[in-house]
Copies of this chain bind each other. A is one copy, B any other.
């Protein structure tokens, strides 16, 4: 059973990253990834706030959320708000069950956490398969970053691990995110060539919705290959490589 990966996107304070590392290690979760931390990395106050956890956990740094999730197979985005994007919303209990199921078949799961004040942006959320919501007092629901990390990691740790016993072989696992990304790059190239994006002001939103659709659809590797073939064929190309 692989523990989930924790991805902190554009965290503002090194101290908070340290406290997240501590909360993770409390729960036996050790894969920490940082996307463009605001105060740079490594950071002295992060080290101090981690109470020694950062000696055990080696944080990996990425420029973009996209790169940080490239090798993950099931990704959750934590958010307090209901989004207009078409994504499934899982409560913490359901999200934990899902991660346990995925983990039992050795899939790599990850949880995205946004910057302290603003939370995740839609441009980060497109890489997630579902949204994770922690149901709290609706009149006072704001958690600090380390507390949100603690609740999700502890929920994972504390879940009764009876899923392991079931024989959950997945016949057709979904392709790694990086493969979906390649597919989208291929599609983007051909859409640009064919003049799909007529309205520059709409291009960003349209493209984000297209990305969201293909990430959410969780294509298998075979489906990714077929979709490459479809794009090439429709564009009048013989092959895509």
Contacts and interface: CB of A to CB of B under 8 A. Distances in A.
Interface of A: 22-23, 25-28, 51-53, 56, 82-86, 89, 91-93, 133, 135-138, 140-144, 146-147, 150-151, 154, 157-158, 161, 163-165, 168, 171-172, 187, 190-191, 194-196, 206, 209-210, 213, 216-217, 219-220, 222-223, 226-227, 229-231, 233-236
Contacts of A22: 140, 144
A233 B138 CA distance: 46
A210 B191 contact: no
A140 B53 contact: yes
Contacts of A143: 26
A29 B89 CA distance: 25
Copies of this subunit: 2
B53 A147 contact: no
A57 to B, nearest CB: 10
Nearest to A136: B26
B164 A233 contact: no
A60 to B, nearest CB: 20
Given A86-B172, A142-B51, A234-B231, A28 B165 contact: no
A136 B153 CA distance: 11
A183 to B, nearest CB: 12
A85 B227 CA distance: 17
A152 to B, nearest CB: 11
Given A213-B219, A222-B209, A194 B233 contact: yes
13 contacts: A22-B144, A28-B136, A52-B140, A85-B172, A89-B165, A91-B164, A135-B161, A136-B157, A187-B230, A190-B234, A209-B226, A213-B223, A234-B235
